[in-house]
């Protein structure tokens, strides 16, 4: 069956061959639709010459390189199963993904350093150059159609009709991966483009990883579906933001909350580029204070986008209204959102978010039927809790899986974080659970203070007037800034490791 995205981009190339559709400011490199098509054909040929065939799995660590888009087209055409991973993925982590999904190849933007004591790879392989400066490490005798046995081995029929395994952002161990088909991707792209009003003539600026579900769905697939231009940087540089927008007449910026917080502190009000008509934010909670401050400073609103690797885009706030509400807006066209009551910690008039649409994946790759948690009732039951406001907009209040058990009482970290964010001296905060010999777990507040003189006692006093005693954090970690991963999210792994390190050394504020 021909690829819908390949056919769609063939029409783009036929109708507008000279239109610039892809720019990398980090390489730097610029491709028209005709040039991207030519690179896709070369990429396809290189994959065929390397012996790759339908259903073979390819792990990609290409970063925000233009050639990644060519690789996507070639993979769709050849019916390969692509596993995009963050650029920061180490070689050890990459090989763990290769083993887990029995991948036939690994695509890299750079080859690791080789020495006698540190060989490049620990298995038979051949390295082949790919168009656009990428490399394919082709492993001998390892394909999805001839899997090895052992823990984590995934048989080919587990992938069903998947063309992509989307890695979920698990906080511990190896992440799960969704079996996402091309019809899932086509549906999701249509939902997003319609909800956001993004057309073929728009120019999108993106500094989020295009290996992540948000960047892939919002920046890569619109290029293929309708020729929408994407301008990419490998990482966020706030000092170059306005210049990047002006140089390319960007109309849409797809960002994450910390980027907007940085722009508030680095960009003068009169420096705001007028060509931008749409700002979106996803991947983490966007605070109402940030929305209000951004609107007051630059006269434009940031629109929240809510999605999941398992379900694609879910909701979008298309309103220009500025309020104190934490709404993520209405369900996208073609998406049905319902709330399942009865979950601990759910609001009285709400419940757990269930999503049904043609963009929902068929399940997790390599897991048995009993392990397909969340894929129920023709959709996906997320771990998010929320309620609908009086205008039928979804308001998220926390997560099912994030409860911390303090002496037999469940505490929702989001509730504590919301209270701490009201403290004028605090810029950012995350609340974690840590082992406690007497209580089972205790609350640890990791905070970025606005002023250096704020103390743990100040925070405790603030909480005491607003929270039950068992909900008040017992330990406090003051940071200059939150550690973040490639996706712009707060890195819970890094925070948890830092908390445990400080706890062991007795360096937290008791």
Residue 155 pLDDT > 60, yes or no? Answer: no
CA 6-230-10 angle, to 5 degrees, is 20
Residue 401 pLDDT > 80, yes or no? Answer: no
Residue carrying the six token digits 């704020």: 454
Residue carrying the six token digits 């392990």: 371
In terms of DSSP bridges, do strands 203-206 and 57-61 run parallel, antiparallel, or are they unpaired?
A: unpaired
pTM for the full predicted model? 0.83
Residue 437 pLDDT > 90, yes or no? Answer: no
- Token pair for 64: 């925000």
C-alpha–C-alpha distance, residues 275 and 457, integer Å:
47
pLDDT digits (tens, 9 = 90+) for 81-96: 999 998 888 888 889 8
Q: Could you tell me the strand order of the sheet in which 57-61 lies?
A: 125-130, 134-139, 105-108, 57-61, 81-84, 162-167, 177-181
Q: Which of 222-231, 244-253, 460-469 has the lowest mean pLDDT?
A: 460-469
- Token pair for 361: 């994946």
Residue 266 pLDDT > 60, yes or no? Answer: yes
Sign of the CA dihedral 286, 289, 290, 291? positive
Residue 60 pLDDT > 80, yes or no? Answer: yes
Confidence of residue 275 (pLDDT cuts 50, 70, 90): very high
Every domain of the chain and the residues it spans: 4-13+29-180, 183-400, 403-505
Q: Facing residues of 304 across strands?
A: 281
Residue 173 pLDDT > 90, yes or no? Answer: no
pLDDT at residue 157 in the model: 45
pLDDT at residue 221 in the model: 98
If one looks up domain 403-505 in CATH, what number appears? 3.30.300.30
pLDDT digits (tens, 9 = 90+) for 446-458: 999 998 889 999 9
Number of helices and strands in the chain (H, E): 13, 25
Residue with the larger pLDDT of the pair 120 and 272: 272
CATH architecture of 183-400: 3-Layer(aba) Sandwich (3.40)
CA 63-202-17 angle, to 5 degrees, is 80
pLDDT at residue 490 in the model: 81
Residue 153 pLDDT > 50, yes or no? Answer: no
Averaged pLDDT of the chain: 89
Residue 103 pLDDT > 90, yes or no? Answer: yes
Confidence of residue 24 (pLDDT cuts 50, 70, 90): very high
In 79-198, alpha helices (H): 91-101, 182-196
**In 3-state terms, what secondary structure has residue 376?**
coil
C-alpha–C-alpha distance, residues 163 and 372, integer Å:
19
pLDDT digits (tens, 9 = 90+) for 345-394: 778 889 999 999 999 999 999 888 888 989 999 999 999 999 999 999 99
Phi-psi label, residue 79: left if phi above 0, alpha if psi -120 to 50, beta otherwise:
left
pLDDT at residue 412 in the model: 79
pLDDT at residue 47 in the model: 97
Task: Please indicate whether the domains covering 4-13+29-180 and 183-400 agree at the CATH topology level.
Answer: yes
Write the secondary structure of 407-452 as one string of H (helix), E (strand) and C (coil). Answer: CCEEECHHHHHHHHHCCCCEEEEEEEEEEECCCEEEEEEEEEECCC
> b/e for 186-212, b at 16 or more Cβ within 10 A?
bbbbbbbbebbebebebbbbbbbbbbb
pLDDT at residue 78 in the model: 97
pLDDT at residue 141 in the model: 64
- CATH class of the structural domain 4-13+29-180: alpha beta
Residue carrying the six token digits 């979920």: 168
Residue 341 pLDDT > 80, yes or no? Answer: yes
Most confident range (mean pLDDT) of 92-101, 137-146, 435-444 is 92-101
Residue 158 pLDDT > 70, yes or no? Answer: no
pLDDT digits (tens, 9 = 90+) for 188-232: 999 999 999 999 999 999 999 999 999 999 999 999 999 999 999
In terms of DSSP bridges, do strands 336-340 and 351-356 run parallel, antiparallel, or are they unpaired?
A: antiparallel
Burial class (CB in 10 A: 0-12, 13-18, 19+), 246: middle
Residue 57 pLDDT > 90, yes or no? Answer: yes
């Amino acid at each position: 069956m021909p690829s819908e995205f390949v056919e769609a981009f063939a029409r783009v190339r036929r109708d507008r061959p000279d239109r610039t559709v892809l720019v990398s400011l980090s390489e730097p490199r610029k491709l028209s639709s005709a040039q991207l098509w030519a690179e896709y054909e070369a990429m396809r040929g290189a994959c065929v010459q390397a012996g790759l065939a339908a259903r073979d799995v390819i792990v990609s660590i290409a970063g925000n390189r233009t050639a990644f888009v060519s690789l996507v087209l070639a993979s769709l055409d050849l019916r390969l199963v692509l596993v995009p991973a963050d650029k920061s993925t180490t070689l050890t982590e990459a090989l763990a993904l290769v083993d887990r999904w029995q991948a036939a190849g690994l695509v890299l933007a750079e080859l690791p350093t080789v020495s006698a004591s540190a060989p490049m790879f620990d298995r038979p392989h051949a390295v082949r150059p790919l168009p656009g400066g990428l490399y394919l490490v082709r492993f001998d005798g390892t394909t999805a159609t001839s899997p090895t046995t052992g823990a984590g081995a995934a048989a080919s029929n587990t992938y069903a009709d998947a063309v992509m395994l989307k890695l979920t952002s698990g906080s511990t161990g190896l992440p799960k991966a969704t079996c996402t088909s091309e019809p899932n991707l086509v549906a999701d792209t249509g939902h997003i483009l319609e909800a956001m009003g993004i057309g073929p003539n728009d120019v999108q600026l993106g500094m989020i990883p295009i290996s992540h579900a948000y960047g892939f769905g919002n920046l890569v697939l619109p290029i293929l579906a309708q020729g929408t231009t994407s301008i990419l940087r490998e990482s966020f540089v706030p000092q170059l933001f306005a210049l990047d927008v002006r140089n390319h007449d960007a109309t849409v910026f797809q960002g994450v909350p910390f980027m907007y917080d940085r722009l508030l502190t680095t960009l003068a009000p009169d420096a705001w580029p007028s060509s931008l008509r749409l700002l979106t934010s996803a991947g983490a909670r966007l605070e109402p204070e940030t929305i209000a401050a951004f609107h007051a400073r630059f006269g434009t609103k940031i629109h929240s986008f809510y999605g999941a690797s398992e379900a694609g885009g879910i909701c979008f706030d298309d309103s220009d209204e500025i309020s104190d509400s934490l709404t993520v807006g209405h369900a996208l066209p073609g998406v049905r959102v319902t709330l399942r009551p009865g979950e601990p910690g759910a609001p009285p008039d709400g419940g757990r978010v269930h999503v049904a649409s043609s963009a929902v994946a068929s399940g997790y790759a390599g897991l048995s039927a009993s392990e397909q948690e969340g894929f129920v009732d023709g959709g996906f039951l997320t771990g998010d809790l929320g309620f609908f406001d009086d205008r039928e907009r979804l308001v998220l209040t926390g997560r099912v899986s994030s409860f911390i058990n303090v002496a037999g009482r469940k505490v929702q970290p989001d509730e504590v974080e919301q209270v701490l964010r009201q403290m004028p001296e605090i810029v950012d905060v995350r609340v974690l659970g840590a082992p406690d010999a007497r209580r089972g777990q205790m609350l640890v507040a990791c905070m970025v203070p606005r002023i250096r003189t704020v103390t743990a006692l100040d925070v405790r006093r603030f909480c005491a007037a607003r929270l039950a005693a068992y909900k008040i954090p017992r330990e406090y970690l003051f940071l200059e800034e939150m550690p973040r991963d490639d996706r712009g999210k707060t890195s819970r792994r890094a925070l948890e490791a830092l908390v445990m390190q400080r706890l062991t050394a007795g360096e937290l504020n008791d």
